[in-house]
Amino acid sequence: MSPSDRLAVPPLGYGAANVGNLFRPLSDDEAWAVLDAAWESGIRYYDTAPHYGLGLSERRLGAFLQTKPRDDYVLSTKAGRLLRPNPAFDGGLDTAHDFHVPDDLQRVWDFSADGIRRSLDESRERLGIERIDLLYLHDPERHDLELALAEAFPAMEQLRADGEVAAIGIGSMVSDALTAAVRGADLDLIMVAGRYTLLEQPAAVDVLPACRERGTGIVAASVFNSGLLASNEPRRDGRYEYGQLPDELWERLLRIAAVCADHGVPLPAAAIQFPLQASGVRSVVVGGSRPEQLRQNAEYAALAIPEELWENLAAEGLIPA
């Protein structure tokens, strides 16, 4: 059995950072409506993390999924950061991390075997769900990648061997960290955030080949490049992860949008479906803070896209051949 065969992941998932009040606050009712729209649209893979809203995403997602049959969905969360009381709390918000929640808790890195186990148990408690299918190590390069390889991943491998989770992986937006983890640990799936999208594919150089060699599956996240690919008519002032959008990428984006328009394919539909064209990519995870966004994304994921679109994009050097 290859690593990626240990857990079947649906091709479209919902990344639940938004229901943790990412970028803007949602009421409990608004968050429930978003999750309900995802479910009604057929989405059956849900990803969360303690990091998202200092546990708010896990609590809201768990409350919703408790109303659904447990065998009908796949659930993943992340480890590496424990949530502990913030002694400096003075009534502020966690906006330094873009979450509109009180910062009465703080994130504490812990890659020890005990820390990884505690993270899983505490996530179970917040979710109110015992069975977590997939556990990712979250952004280990932001703390200590060597320590992750030496301690965290072996601890996660043991949790899998003990039947505590079905599969393990890493979630990161850094290609070097993803590649090192794939080569240095026995991972089932990795979450590649923003490194393999319709706009830019740095993960194609090293991450994807490493995954193919090891039989490791890929989940593509942040496929809209911070929203740049989320509408048919890109905006020059759109947010980009490194700040201002570089001219080279803007011109590339315009060329991609033009090819999509020539084929009558909505740009966001191409953005969602592009990663799945690569062997090894099992799922695409999208976010969203409004019900209509989830319904639209599900429609885009199911839209028939002509093979000629991908051929033309490759012929123009806009995606890998």
pLDDT digits (tens, 9 = 90+) for 143-185: 999 999 999 999 999 999 999 999 999 999 999 999 999 999 9
* Average pLDDT score over residue span 182-193: 98
Q: Nearest 5°: phi and psi at 112? A: -70, 160
Number of domains in the chain: 1
| 242 pLDDT more than 60 | no
pTM value is 0.95
Mean pLDDT estimate for the chain: 95
Rounded to the nearest 10 degrees, how much is the dihedral formed by the CA atoms of 13, 312, 251, 174? 40
Asked if the structure places residue 320 within a domain, the reply is no
SS3 93: strand
Given pLDDT bands bounded at 50, 70 and 90, which one contains residue 241? low
pLDDT of residue 157: 98
Instruction: Supply 129's token pair.
Output: 């769900």
Given pLDDT bands bounded at 50, 70 and 90, which one contains residue 235? confident
Asked if the structure places residue 117 within a domain, the reply is yes
pLDDT of residue 239: 65
Ranges of beta strands (E only) in the chain are: 12-15, 45-47, 74-79, 81-85, 105-109, 134-138, 167-172, 189-193, 217-221, 281-286
Asked if the structure places residue 271 within a domain, the reply is yes
DSSP 97: G
Q: Give exposure, 232-249, as e/b (b: 16+ Cβ within 10 Å).
A: eebeeebebeeeebeeee
Asked if the structure places residue 153 within a domain, the reply is yes
Neighbours of 203 (CB within 10 A): 27
Catalytically annotated residues: 52
Q: Give exposure, 74-89, as e/b (b: 16+ Cβ within 10 Å).
A: bbbbbbbbbbeebeee
**Rg value, the chain, Cα:** 19
Determine the structural domain holding residue 220 and report its residue range: 3-315
Asked if the structure places residue 51 within a domain, the reply is yes
User: What is the CB-side half-sphere exposure of residue 140 using CA atoms within 13 A?
Assistant: 32
CA separation for the pair 1, 5 (Å, rounded): 6
pLDDT of residue 226: 82
| 51 pLDDT more than 80 | yes
Asked if the structure places residue 279 within a domain, the reply is yes
| 5 pLDDT more than 90 | no
Please report, for the domain that includes residue 259, its CATH number. 3.20.20.100
pLDDT of residue 321: 84
Asked if the structure places residue 321 within a domain, the reply is no
Asked if the structure places residue 142 within a domain, the reply is yes
* Average pLDDT score over residue span 35-60: 98
What digits encode the pLDDT tens for the residues 258-306? 999 999 999 999 999 999 999 999 999 999 999 999 999 999 999 999 9
